[in-house]
Chains A and B, each alone.
Chain A
């Protein structure tokens, strides 16, 4: 694999061809905030927290480091006034949904995000997609998926699959930053699982 030399926050970094800027940064011990990223999953590019400024020559632009491929002589800045302002706004948009999430609160402190900046929203799902993607890519069960689009987008369990598989798995539950996943599961279980699948899961 070819080696690619680039610069992140003034540090000279050697990365492998095909790596993303995020991978290169993490490999060099430089931390960039992420939420929807998971090393077992295909990079998603949904939360946009990992934006960085990347340029070569005279021009630079904001790119999403979890999907942006490394380039020779790329100059990357992981912080700037604009980047920090945008990250703060993104966190505030999340906090409108899930003000009590521990992970969000931790990042909010770092960026000075105000959880009351925006009016509260009813659903505390922040669409990181970790549950959907984990079930599809790692477990290959597709027990939970997205439905609809835009501001009406939601996660939704497929009752027939979830009632058979989830009790024995639940690997996605700890991934959810806001516990919406657990709430959605319990709701689906109560409303849509067929009666016989509601046996005591400890009996086998």
Chain B
């Protein structure tokens, strides 16, 4: 790769790359994001490569291993170019047919197409699949067409044109103004206006300034940043370069959690490639602007996603947050002015520069501009990563894009904002997604995790789950968080084990106030949110647990009993054989009975009882019916 020394050279190389690509050559793009790899796309990819060779089609067909396409439920995914046929749930056995049909015959393989659950219609093109149709994939869309390990692929889709535009005609103030005008708000959780943060750092009187990418993504259930960093690392780099220029920083850090090895690999490779082209390093594109980037791995601490704790970790210390009295954009990393922004925030910047702030502000709502990538997970039919304009309603996201709740279950709540957020119930589904709207409803945008819960989810347990998570992840420095959450965890665990007592809710409320008002950092301050929001919307569940010793969702293990309905039991012996503690007494044609003394409530019998019998029941808060008398146990029906 030759080092590019002017913006003109960059455009020339771009033209060269594009001209060498045949748009009519058949290209099989295969999703190789981490989730699809877990579903087997590496084997599929290897199989395709072998098939292309075996069928002698090297000149006609190529494979491009891309990042995450977003429709993780149906992975591994293939999209054929140029016809844009989309095949889902690919297995290694499908590979030879896919390759041969790509060129010879061009027949569409029906069984691999998406089937509309309502109309049974087969859908051929990715963009028409309901999951994709309603999205607006401005930031995430390129994932499906580029190989993240190839900077040339990124250049071919106009990559680094924003850097070129900035360095060949815009002053740092111009860039800052554009970002401010765009009203871009941080995508990591705080939703703070990026332009204002940048301006504070730009105006700070210090020679050395830092820009930082927060790729720690600790919210469980959120993996958008991973998909972006794995699938389109250059988009993040490009945004970072532009931001550094606007602020006057020459040194950047990318803090990636070590649980994302593919993201670490791809961003490191992207940096090396950008350096080779001279898009990073000294005198970028001959502009005189120097900028260097280093990757730093996290080591397994959720608290390091908090910006001041992240900076402390960058300094090689334990991730203990610092008080926010002195803002980190003035005194941050090594006490120097530092701008820290989330991966998705940085990835929005090239868009804003290329298309302009005016275009950007047309998308979204009054106070939340642009799009947001959500990870739509949990009890939802179409699990995956979705990018929608701010202002789309929760209902549209969950039902139009997400395909609703599987197995005919009823929607109960959607949890947003991770451990700092809250649960939003069914009667608020028409809420448009936006920073302020979600906060007013008792939750928050957070990093974009959207966990859908159904009638089988116990909301008291959800609160317990999050508090428990935080007792482990808290840095432990301040009392309201460390001790407050310790006690809240105990009380909530007791409630979910049937040991709740009068006064527990009030005590939890007092501890919530202490944590919210007096904690050192946002982890502690927002820790009570899942509890407060579930109490607000699902108080009846708390009272049932405490007063009636009943779990209405039939989830809390110590509060339910498994019972075989004698009317429905067919004595098929399946549960008898599968019970890990031999707690079921039964024989062929003899109604099975669970010995409650031996039963460990593992739920295996409930799982394995054939659907047509549906004989195993969960009971809670009510006395068990007396066992069928011996003489009546033989089945005569």
Contacts and interface: CB of A to CB of B under 8 A. Distances in A.
Interface in A170-194: none
Interface in A28-80: 45-48, 51, 62-64, 67-69
Interface stretch (A6-14, A136-144, A146-154, A159-167): A146-154
A90 B472 CA distance: 20
- Which residue of B483, B484, B517 has the most chain A CB atoms within 10 A of its CB atom? B483
Given A93-B487, A96-B487, A127-B476, A153 B518 contact: no
A75 B301 CA distance: 38
A86 B482 contact: no
Q: Most A CB atoms within 10 A — which of B475, B489, B517? A: B517
Contacts of B520: 45-46, 48, 64
A150 B483 contact: no
A148 B511 CA distance: 23
A67 B325 contact: yes
B480 interface: yes
A97 B483 CA distance: 10
Interface residues of A, number: 34
Interface string B290-321: 00000000000101000000000000001000
A64 B323 contact: yes
Contact of A63 (B325, B471, B478, B484): B325
Contacts of A97: 483
B165 interface: no
A89 B486 CA distance: 13
B548 interface: no
A63 B484 CA distance: 18
Contacts, number: 100
B471 A151 contact: yes
Interface residues of B, number: 34
B518 A151 contact: no
B73 interface: no
Given A62-B517, A67-B325, A69-B325, A90 B479 contact: yes
A121 B482 CA distance: 13
B542 to A, nearest CB: 19
A90 B303 CA distance: 22
A151 B486 contact: yes
A130 to B, nearest CB: 13
Given A96-B483, A119-B490, A153-B476, A90 B323 contact: no
Nearest to B490: A119
B396 interface: no
Contacts of A127: 476-477, 479, 482
B510 interface: yes
B513 A46 contact: no
Contact of A149 (B476, B479, B485, B513): B476
Contacts of B485: 151
Given A69-B325, A89-B511, A48 B476 contact: no
B240 to A, nearest CB: 30
Nearest to B519: A48
A124 interface: no
B39 to A, nearest CB: 34
Q: Which of A48, A51, A118, A148 has the most CB of B within 10 A?
A: A48
Contact of A94 (B303, B476, B483): B483
A121 B198 CA distance: 46
Contacts of B470: 150
B514 interface: yes
A151 B476 contact: yes
A94 B480 CA distance: 10
Contacts of A46: 477-479, 520
B572 to A, nearest CB: 46
Nearest to A119: B490
Given A47-B478, A89-B484, 11 more contacts: A45-B323, A45-B478, A51-B518, A68-B323, A68-B325, A82-B513, A94-B483, A96-B483, A127-B479, A127-B482, A151-B472
13 contacts: A46-B477, A47-B478, A48-B520, A67-B323, A89-B510, A90-B483, A90-B514, A93-B484, A96-B483, A121-B486, A127-B479, A151-B471, A152-B472
